[in-house]
Structure 1
């Protein structure tokens, strides 16, 4: 979008694909990219919600397209990327945001639930990237995996989620080494506690959707704040961004005093059970 006699916006002419953007952080990240001039391909699994988001952004004057796709299905990811190319002719940025979270202790979980959560966080990032990579190499583009501060030190009641999010860090590092000559940026954003849509649900031990565990409001950033940080991460082509003071503290303690970090987590688990359960 341009104003009279104004310089083009920073992402004018660029195209971003943001998975899991029908709601929540993904939706606000899409809005942030649009505000900087990018055309955005929206994605989700719920057609009505996805179309509602597409219409809302289009009504604001932004260039958006939408594709219903389960990102743990590689064929669906190929179709998702095909929509980007058909609608906008190129692809410059991929934000792998879609994932399923959980709220269950490992001892109680069924294997199928563990696999479902892990698949959404690992294959849900790998498959869109694999489908998009030829186009991103052509544009010397950017890939950002949305991880979590819980991947930095683990979190009780989040085994599969933490494992999947932690895997993205090593995946990004490996891809930087393998594809260093392509000019493609690979980064990871570790998000912290964020305000959620009221209907946000995670999986319990049996795979049933339940509300997310309690998070003190004073610890939470808004979705728009998180989206702005993701946007800045992509624009600066950073390798890693850790959101929130708590996330940075976890990173430092885990690196320097890991036993202290584990003691703090175990103590909080005993005293703040509703934080995990």
Structure 2
């Protein structure tokens, strides 16, 4: 049987060989294809943490747990040593103040100074805000995650089990509009929970691996809360691209052979979707190739 990771490696190869090259909003430039799909079977505990390079899965799980809090400030992330959201507020701070502060110094101030964090650590109404506190035209907040859990428990045959973050009215206030924007769920007659994640824009080298892990962690939590078993994770990409300064790294990754995928499990049954902690997740058998360094385009 073909290793599931080859689906991802095939995408890397396709973008390298056939991608349309153009300048993007970051100015770095991309090579991209439009429309892609990969499928991962989670039913035996195996999870898509890529092995052809080291993926910092702990960071991805911590990010997903932060999304579930509804938070929009990077201070809690930095206190968990998660730095993947620092680039956008740092760029805003430098642009608006004219100060060429280093990233470590900026992050340290966010961690230590609550007032500074409140002013400069905000990302706007990004993922968590929309997932947990979508503001309706009537002024009422909608908790899409709580509604999803309720429907999974009470009406699992529903075709309306989804949540998304593309709130048109608030896009302009976000540091970055949602890339992984629609999560739809499906329950089989024998109690397996499937997820389809649509991602409109995909940084294939840096972002996709994190999105696979985050979506998997969420699927495990939702399945447990609804008394279901994990099924398939189906990932669909819109604009699937490599930045032009990531091409050599992609070629390096393609030169490596996949190793056995690891397994992930939850160590306890949380009382609610809001009760999970990072310590509840355990990954076994992860033996990846070395990490591949690449810059984030902001």
More strand by share: 2
Given the two structures, how large is their TM-score scaled by the length of structure 2? Answer: 0.24
Q: RCO higher in 1 or 2 (8 Å CA, sep ≥ 6)?
A: 2
Structure with higher helix content: 1
Calculate the TM-score normalised by the size of structure 1.
0.25
